[in-house]
């Protein structure tokens, strides 16, 4: 069975500070991994995705994520957050590494304060 | 730009009643999905489809049926709505690749009373 764990339900940061959101996965092979963001009362939007190659992948809005096979992790980072980054962030992996839907973590709610 | 629309955006239903949630995409994608999101939780896959007139079960299909009459349209049907089905429902579409981005609709907030 595959699963995604996001250990932090809520994170609070000051504007301009750095942000790291943790994600651990369980899957028998190297998974297709994603980070999505959900702004209030909206659907999800893709931030970045990863399958192979450079373990550090760049995404939209200056987000990046680092894949670690040894740690089964795919942590999301941003060097300097803005108040508009306040949202819920979801880590996900592709079911069976095919277009059969995504398995999501529970999400991390990020609040950015001025 | 890719677009996934859902209707209605919000609905109140009575326990035991029938509910149909509709999804329409203009992405020309073969794959479509229905997820539910409960307050404070991630999304869970209910049903998906990769071709018209065919649907597949996801992780939590019990109590739900799906219908894909055309490439563009994908419906989720609750034949006998229950209190436990109160949630926000999201539809998504994607290309036929495991690493393909899923494009999500804005969601339908369903309240069953």
pLDDT, tens digit (0-9, with 9 covering 90-100), for A71-110: 999 999 999 999 999 999 999 999 777 778 999 999 999 9
pLDDT of residue B1: 61
pLDDT of residue A36: 97
Tokens, residue B2:
């890719």
Query: How far B61 CA sits from the closest chain A CA (Å)?
Result: 13
pLDDT digits (tens, 9 = 90+) for A38-69: 998 888 999 999 988 899 999 999 999 999 99
Say which residue the tokens 């049907």 belong to.
Answer: B77
Instruction: Among B56, B94, B99, select the one facing A51 at the smallest CB separation.
Output: B99
pLDDT per residue, tens digit, chain B (113 aa), is: 659 999 999 999 999 999 999 999 999 999 999 999 998 778 999 999 999 999 999 999 999 999 999 999 999 999 999 999 999 999 999 988 778 889 999 999 999 99
Please provide residue B26's backbone torsions phi and psi, each rounded to the nearest 5 degrees.
-115, 25
Is there a contact between B104 and A90 if contact means CB atoms under 8 Å apart? no
List CB contacts of A53: < 8 A, sequence separation 6 or more: none
Please state whether beta strands A108-113 and A10-14 pair in parallel, antiparallel, or not at all (unpaired): parallel
Q: CA nearest A5: which of A32, A29, A23?
A: A23
List CB contacts of A113: < 8 A, sequence separation 6 or more: A12, A13, A14, A15, A83
């Amino acid at each position: 069975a595959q699963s995604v764990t996001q250990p932090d339900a809520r994170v609070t940061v000051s504007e301009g500070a750095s942000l790291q959101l943790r994600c651990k996965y369980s899957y028998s092979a190297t998974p297709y991994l994603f980070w999505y963001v959900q702004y209030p009362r909206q659907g999800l939007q893709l931030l970045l995705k990863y399958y192979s190659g450079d373990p550090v992948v760049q995404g939209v809005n200056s987000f990046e994520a680092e894949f670690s096979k040894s740690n089964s992790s795919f942590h999301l980072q941003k060097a300097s957050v803005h108040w508009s980054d306040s949202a819920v962030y979801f880590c996900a992996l592709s079911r069976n590494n095919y277009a059969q839907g995504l398995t999501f973590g529970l999400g991390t709610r990020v609040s950015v304060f001025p | 730009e890719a677009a996934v629309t859902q209707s209605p955006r919000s609905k109140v239903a009575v326990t035991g009643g029938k509910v149909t949630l509709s999804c329409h995409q203009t992405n020309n994608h073969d794959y479509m999905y229905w997820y539910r999101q409960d307050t404070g939780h991630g999304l869970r896959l209910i049903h998906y489809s990769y071709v018209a007139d065919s649907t597949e079960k996801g992780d939590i299909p019990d109590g739900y049926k799906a219908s894909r009459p055309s490439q563009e349209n994908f419906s989720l049907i609750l034949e006998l709505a229950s209190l436990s089905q109160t949630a926000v429902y999201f539809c998504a579409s994607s290309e036929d690749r495991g690493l393909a981005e899923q494009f999500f609709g804005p969601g339908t907030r369903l309240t069953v009373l």
